[in-house]
Amino acid sequence: MPAGSPPEKIEPKSLDDYLDVMSKAVFQSGISWKVVEAKWPGTREAFHNFNVNEVSAFDDQEIDALTQDTRVIRNYRKLNAVVSNAQKMLSLDQEYDGFKNYLRAHGDFDATLNAIRKDFKFMGPTGIYYFLYVVGEPVPPHGEFESTYSK
């Protein structure tokens, strides 16, 4: 997470909100948070405000077009991960009768982290911590997380 103050929490109103936050975590992997923040308004536009139904329907041609779009971070694997994650999010939302139910089905932070790592692309421990924190799910104190997962 960026140095300084923690990111602002949100109360997700729909799957689109979850996809927005998760996608920011995907793009932040290995890239300056400032770069991601600067590009985020254009990224939202390019991904139709992270409308999960629209994004999940992106085809290879649309993903290829995004690799030429200067509004976004043009990493094919990350662009493709956003589409794949939207598809998985829709599937889990249906399977668990709500995505929040999926997030809370695992019992504790460690189990939730492992489930998200397995189910979603480009989501490592720091990205998952950021995602869960921002969407208001329980996370351990940051120092405790760092000492456990930053090895």
pLDDT, tens only, 11-64: 999 999 999 999 999 999 999 999 999 999 999 999 999 999 999 999 999 999
pLDDT at 117 over 60: yes
| pLDDT reported for residue 72 | 97
DSSP 14: S
| pLDDT reported for residue 4 | 60
Does this model's pTM top 0.85? My answer is: yes
| pLDDT reported for residue 62 | 97
| pLDDT reported for residue 150 | 79
Are 49 and 16 in contact by the 8 Å Cβ rule? The answer is yes
Are 135 and 14 in contact by the 8 Å Cβ rule? The answer is no
DSSP 149: H
Residue 34 tokens read as: 């400032």
DSSP 96: T
The mean predicted confidence, pLDDT, of the chain is 95
Handedness of CA 64, 60, 19, 102 (dihedral sign): negative
* Euclidean distance between CA atoms 84 and 115, whole angstroms: 16
| pLDDT reported for residue 6 | 80
Mean pLDDT of 78-85: 98
DSSP 70: T
* Euclidean distance between CA atoms 100 and 150, whole angstroms: 27
Q: Per DSSP, which regions of the chain are E strands?
A: none
